[in-house]
A and B are shown apart, each in its own frame.
Chain A
Amino acid sequence: MADASLGAIDDVTVLRHRAGADDQAVVYLATVVTSAGPTVVASLDAALARGTPVELALGADGRLSARAAGASGS
């Protein structure tokens, strides 16, 4: 069975403005094609190139994040 926690970056955007938001910090987002097939939307720490293999993690707040596979992190 394919692992849905693995995937590859499809498209990336840098969201610079959100209507009505007090906090206008830059947000990195990507569509990720998971190894299991479905495409999901995930946040990134920084822009990644298309095709980059990533690992996905779901936070307690419901935030799905993607990180380059094999990258070390806290």
Chain B
Amino acid sequence: MERFDGAAIAAAVEVPYQRRATDVSTEKLLSQAFVAALAQAGLSPRDVDGLGVSSFTLAPDHAIDLAWRLGLSLRWAMDDCHGGATGINLLQHAVRAVQAGDANVIVLVAGDHFESADFRRLQDHYNVTTRDHLRPLQATPNALFAMLTARHMRAHGLTRADYGALVVAQRQWAQANPLAVYRAPMTLADYLAAPMIADPLGRFDCVPVVSGADALVVTAADHRAARGRGVRVLALRNRYNPDQQAGDGLVTGLAALAGELWNDAGLGPEAADLVAVYDDYPVMCLVQLADLGFAPDGDLRALIHQRIATRQLPMNTSGGQLSVGQAGAAGNVHGLVEVVTQLRGEAGERQVDKARVGVVTGYGMVEYRYGMCANAVVLEGPR
């Protein structure tokens, strides 16, 4: 069953992200996102019979505990722990559940509240491999992706300024997004002058940690909440642990699923009016775009300077996580929220003209040297 007919995204919201948020909790952020999503869809909690949750900091609670706190009686519940790939994974399961009649209205929420100590704990205990083999080295994700970026620079003949052009382009989009945490103008000189975090990565190559939450509502396509403004899934594919961590990290699972994805969608990358690429680091934007066929000639410098920087290919139009911030498990849902918002024509000053088809990618769950999870979805806006 490759087709995703019969279900639609009826709402997509983001609780404003905050740096160093106080007087808030993960549960409160997820609840705020839940309430805002229902308000946008014109639904009440009584309409909800499915709940999917992803969070690094909700523990020891799970989806069922959040359901109790929200007063929900459910037919479908799901916890997801796929990091940067969590939103698309949740979306796949929710759409299938609606198609199968297991639920009628599913709310997907993801987010985290981080204190400084929370984030350090997450980094040190991300999984057993991290705890046992990376923590003793003090090897953070920034260090791992610094070495990956160095490999990528060598493989493609890129310089720090090339990655910087991508980061600056995203900051320009962020300036038109009132929800972006970092909106101050940034030049390439600013990027290059920023303190180094892990050579060759500087401060602006590393996602700023924030607190926040995002939510989606998935319903039947003919549900009153989706009628006339539902966003449809044309294709969605996942690939997990494609190479047993034995590669160089410069190819993700997207390379293996790209053919199936575009075939399912009945179109190719040239049809995408915008893309939201999981941007934990600029290098991963380029890797994922190449994997999905956005640079068929392999010329990544041209992709950056002639397509992304010029907005010929609108990428991460919210500003992406590099400017909006990374709210833990919300990161992948953030991309979905932005593309749904664009496809509905509700993106305000940053609206992409005539946006009809959007692509969102997910990437994450570093096991040892790079991420193991990758997925992508092709979305189509209301006609």
Q: Taking the complex as formed, is A70 at the interface, i.e. its CB lies under 8 A from any CB of chain B?
A: no
A13 to B151, CA, bound (A): 11
Q: Taking the complex as formed, is B138 at the interface, i.e. its CB lies under 8 A from any CB of chain A?
A: yes
How many chain B residues sit at the interface, stated as a range, is: 20 to 34
A15 touches B138 (CB 8 A): yes
Chain A residues in 8 Å Cβ range of B248: 39
A14 touches B136 (CB 8 A): no
Question: Quick one: which of A15-74 are within 8 Å of B by CB?
Answer: 15-21, 27, 29-31, 38-39, 41-43, 59, 61-64
B195 touches A17 (CB 8 A): yes
A15 touches B116 (CB 8 A): no
A41 touches B137 (CB 8 A): yes
B369 touches A15 (CB 8 A): no
Chain B residue with the shortest CB-CB distance to A37: B246
With A21-B120, A29-B143, A31-B147 as known contacts, state yes or no: A16 contacts B137, CB within 8 Å: no
Name the one of A13, A20, A43, A59 contacting B198, with C-beta atoms under 8 angstroms: A13
A10 to B369, CA, bound (A): 13
A54 to B295, CA, bound (A): 37
B151 touches A29 (CB 8 A): no
Q: Taking the complex as formed, is B9 at the interface, i.e. its CB lies under 8 A from any CB of chain A?
A: no
A14 to B368, CA, bound (A): 18
Chain A residues in 8 Å Cβ range of B132: 62
A16 touches B195 (CB 8 A): yes
Q: Taking the complex as formed, is A12 at the interface, i.e. its CB lies under 8 A from any CB of chain B?
A: yes
5 contacts between A and B (CB under 8 A): A16-B197, A18-B120, A20-B123, A61-B136, A62-B132
Name the residue among B117, B138, B368, B369 with the largest chain A CB count within 10 angstroms.
B138
Chain B residue with the shortest CB-CB distance to A11: B147
A32 to chain B, nearest CB (A): 11
A14 touches B137 (CB 8 A): no
The list of the 4 closest CB pairs from A to B, nearest first, reads A20-B120, A11-B147, A13-B146, A63-B136
A15 to chain B, nearest CB (A): 5
Q: Taking the complex as formed, is B150 at the interface, i.e. its CB lies under 8 A from any CB of chain A?
A: yes
B133 touches A64 (CB 8 A): yes
B120 touches A13 (CB 8 A): no
- The number of chain A residues with a CB under 8 A from chain B is 26
A14 touches B147 (CB 8 A): no
A20 touches B119 (CB 8 A): yes
Binding site for B on A (CB under 8 A): 10-21, 27, 29-31, 38-39, 41-43, 59, 61-64
Chain A residues in 8 Å Cβ range of B201: 13
Question: Quick one: which of B133-150 are within 8 Å of A by CB?
Answer: 133-140, 142-144, 146-148, 150
Interface membership of chain B positions 208-233, coded 1 if the CB is closer than 8 angstroms to chain A and 0 otherwise:
01000000000000000000000000
A39 to B369, CA, bound (A): 9
B119 touches A19 (CB 8 A): yes
Name the residue among B117, B132, B134, B198 with the largest chain A CB count within 10 angstroms.
B198
Chain A residues in 8 Å Cβ range of B116: 19-20
B147 touches A62 (CB 8 A): no
Q: Taking the complex as formed, is B24 at the interface, i.e. its CB lies under 8 A from any CB of chain A?
A: no
B147 touches A42 (CB 8 A): no
Chain A residue with the shortest CB-CB distance to B248: A39
Chain B residues in 8 Å Cβ range of A21: 120, 138
With A12-B147, A38-B246 as known contacts, state yes or no: A18 contacts B140, CB within 8 Å: yes
Add 6 more A-B contacts to A18-B140, A39-B246, A41-B133 (CB < 8 A).
A16-B198, A20-B120, A27-B138, A31-B369, A41-B368, A63-B136
Q: Taking the complex as formed, is B196 at the interface, i.e. its CB lies under 8 A from any CB of chain A?
A: yes
Chain A residues in 8 Å Cβ range of B142: 15, 17-18
Chain B residues in 8 Å Cβ range of A43: 137-139
Q: Taking the complex as formed, is B47 at the interface, i.e. its CB lies under 8 A from any CB of chain A?
A: no
B137 touches A11 (CB 8 A): no
B53 to chain A, nearest CB (A): 25
Interface membership of chain B positions 77-117, coded 1 if the CB is closer than 8 angstroms to chain A and 0 otherwise:
00000000000000000000000000000000000000011
A16 touches B133 (CB 8 A): no
Chain A residues in 8 Å Cβ range of B119: 19-20
B143 touches A27 (CB 8 A): yes
A14 to B120, CA, bound (A): 19
Chain B residues in 8 Å Cβ range of A27: 137-139, 143
